[in-house]
Structure 1
């Protein structure tokens, strides 16, 4: 007996969602969430220059902020994966740190044309629904999880706290459309967690983007 059957026994039940599917026009998708930190035209122009399913979108919601060490590892992992990417960077827990301290040397030069870094807020629904986008690295917040599922995208799951670990189980074990990066420690808030190493991130990204497992998940 699944959860819906259980609730039907207890009370009358109406199933709603995923509500993200109601946003069908470009204007609707752009207006979801906060105002984007990048012009949506420039973002879509960059994305539309790529092949279908070739870009991985990396975003960890509006609360989770990485340490400089984790940002550094993530940057190296994305580069090593060989995949094109859009990476949304909210900020750094090391308040005095700047890009030049956690970016690998010459990183932005090396990824020019292959990676797009958005500092702040991105038009996420628009990016996820674009056929050029082929995967999603997510913190497993419910809105992001449903957005990725609704867009039919394989996901790298990287939960931080609250219900995100349950959402990861839903994506990886029930729907089987996600690959876990290996984050195990639940936090009380969006604080610093043990650093996930670049090898684990690279491996998970490759699993959802290339090879037989990626095809299986996408199907």
Structure 2
């Protein structure tokens, strides 16, 4: 719309640049054997490729996952802004700039600070964390747009129980789903983990939790904002990607040496033993 009015528009890429590099390469070269993607550390498992449906892209396949990203990049006027920095993704910035023939300008990481006074639930959470040893707890959250099935929630719960670590876990349900945490977790889980775990339904002040001295790890879906927050606060990442750009971001986490990915079973099934291992 901006272009149709002869107004210059600039794309602000809110995912990782490694993701942008991967998908842009796919759209440029499709199934062609040459050139191959130059960063072997960023890859997708077979079940992720099937789930994301990133088969060779037709020139005008507007339903493809990354089509909007590609078109936005192409229509961005001369430059593209990135929520990252060269220390994290320098080689990916250079690659996309070269193949895309645009100047890429990193302006991040952009972290939204939360004022304590605005969070009415923070007092209860802080009191619980204050009683725990330094770096003894993991924070478990899968963002505001990713929802887990009952089976997945049960496996994560069993994994947390097996690991014997302290944890804060925020569980969210899709709008219109009428259920409770008690119905979704294994029977007896809340009682057996009482004292070691705090389970919260809905939203929680993530940046305040991650910045607390008792937090020593973050089990995350690998949304880019969550990754940037975790890195900014120096919290190791236990990666459990679900969809969209998250699987590739998980590979970046391991490449940077700032976390580990929880391995999945056949067809991407979550397994309690791997959750505990992570």
The residue number in structure 1 matching 2:93 is 4
Q: 126, 129, 147: which is aligned to 2:211?
A: 129
* 2:263 counterpart of 1:182: yes
Give the distance between the partners of 1:30 and 1:2, measured in 2 at CA. 40
Give the distance between the partners of 1:178 and 1:74, measured in 2 at CA. 18
Give unpaired runs (5+ residues) of structure 2.
Answer: 1-89
Deviation at 1:117, TM superposition (A): 0.4
Q: 105, 108, 131: which is aligned to 1:17?
A: 108
Cα distance 1:138–1:144, how it changes in 2: closer, same or farther (>3 A)? same
Give the distance between the partners of 2:139 and 2:216, measured in 1 at CA. 8
The residue number in structure 1 matching 2:135 is 53
Give the distance between the partners of 1:62 and 1:44, measured in 2 at CA. 21
Give the distance between the partners of 2:258 and 2:163, measured in 1 at CA. 19
Higher RCO structure (Cα 8 Å, ≥6 apart): 1
* SS class of match (1:117): strand
TM-score (norm 2): 0.60
* 2:161 counterpart of 1:79: yes
The residue number in structure 1 matching 2:236 is 154
TM-score (norm 1): 0.75
Give unpaired runs (5+ residues) of structure 1.
Answer: 186-192, 205-219
Q: 122, 133, 138: which is aligned to 1:40?
A: 122
Cα distance 1:105–1:5, how it changes in 2: closer, same or farther (>3 A)? closer
